Amino acid sequence: MQFEIGTNATTGGTGDTQITNPASVNTYAIAIATTEGDSGNVTVAIIDDDQVNVTASVGQSIVFDLDTSVADGETATPYSVALGTLATSDVETSGTTDSINMIIVEGSTNGTGGMVVTVRNANGSNGLVSTSVPADNIGSADATMAAGTENYGLCVITAGLVDFSIATPYSGNTCATNSNTNVVEGLTTTGESILSTTAPFASGHAEISVNGAVSGVTTAHSDYTDTLTFVATSTF
């Protein structure tokens, strides 16, 4: 026997109402009676909706690491780049030819705005300063390196970039390992952007070349030095 209830009833007539489920959890009886004198009850169980609310959180993450090496690899502190004895006949630059360390930058972040890396130095445009005679220095300026022309600066090696982009003002500079004609940026004490990303990334890698040259009138000292400070910032 089949019962058609409410607006689902179409045989022998059309229903004009519907049964609405109660809002409360319980077992309800539907009374059924026919014109033939038969009657009975049908029970319907109304149960609650079992819902599970799942939550989670993700912490802010930023990883930033420096290494200094002639070739790509992990090194321990203290990080250093020794340009050696500078002569007018050559430009000293990071790479295997002169056995001078490059600065290796690695990073990752889940910040939605990515990461910006800035670099500043201790001596600004004075560049490499003699510890014993601070008035003597090897200046630092934006320029193309050349043997016999005093200058000291950094550039980002265009090969080997992973995830990072070269940031302005370093972008567009020609830069490679073992090159005597790298286009370098002069250093400042306030700092400038050197690397950047605009989205989260997992395996950032960049290599920075350190370049130095002297002229025939650069004062002789064995204690020229500078300190570079790299700062990584993420936007979350």
Please state whether the peptide bond connecting residue 22 to the residue before it is cis, i.e. omega within 30 degrees of 0.
Answer: no
pLDDT band at 188 (very low <50, low <70, confident <90, very high): very high
| pLDDT-wise least confident of 11-15, 23-27, 60-64, 227-231 | 11-15
Average pLDDT over residues 119-141: 98
Does the pLDDT of residue 22 top 90, yes or no? Answer: no
Q: Which two structure tokens, joined as six digits, stand for 110?
A: 């889940």
pTM of the model: 0.80
Phi, psi dihedral angles at 20 (to 5 degrees): -100, 130
* DSSP SS3 for 157: coil
Predicted pLDDT at 20: 83
Question: How big is the chain by its Cα radius of gyration, in Å?
Answer: 37
Q: What is the pLDDT of residues 149-162, one digit of tens each?
A: 999 999 999 998 99
Instruction: Please state, rounded to an integer, the average pLDDT across all residues of the chain.
Output: 93
Q: Which residues contact 67 (CB under 8 A, 6 or more apart)?
A: 73, 74, 75, 79, 103, 104, 106
Q: What is the pLDDT of residues 33-85, one digit of tens each?
A: 777 777 888 888 888 878 899 999 999 999 999 999 998 889 999 999 999 99
Predicted pLDDT at 1: 64
Predicted pLDDT at 183: 98
Predicted pLDDT at 43: 86
**Rounded CA separation 131/139 (Å):** 15
**Rounded CA separation 65/45 (Å):** 63
Predicted pLDDT at 201: 97
| pLDDT-wise least confident of 17-26, 48-57, 133-142 | 17-26
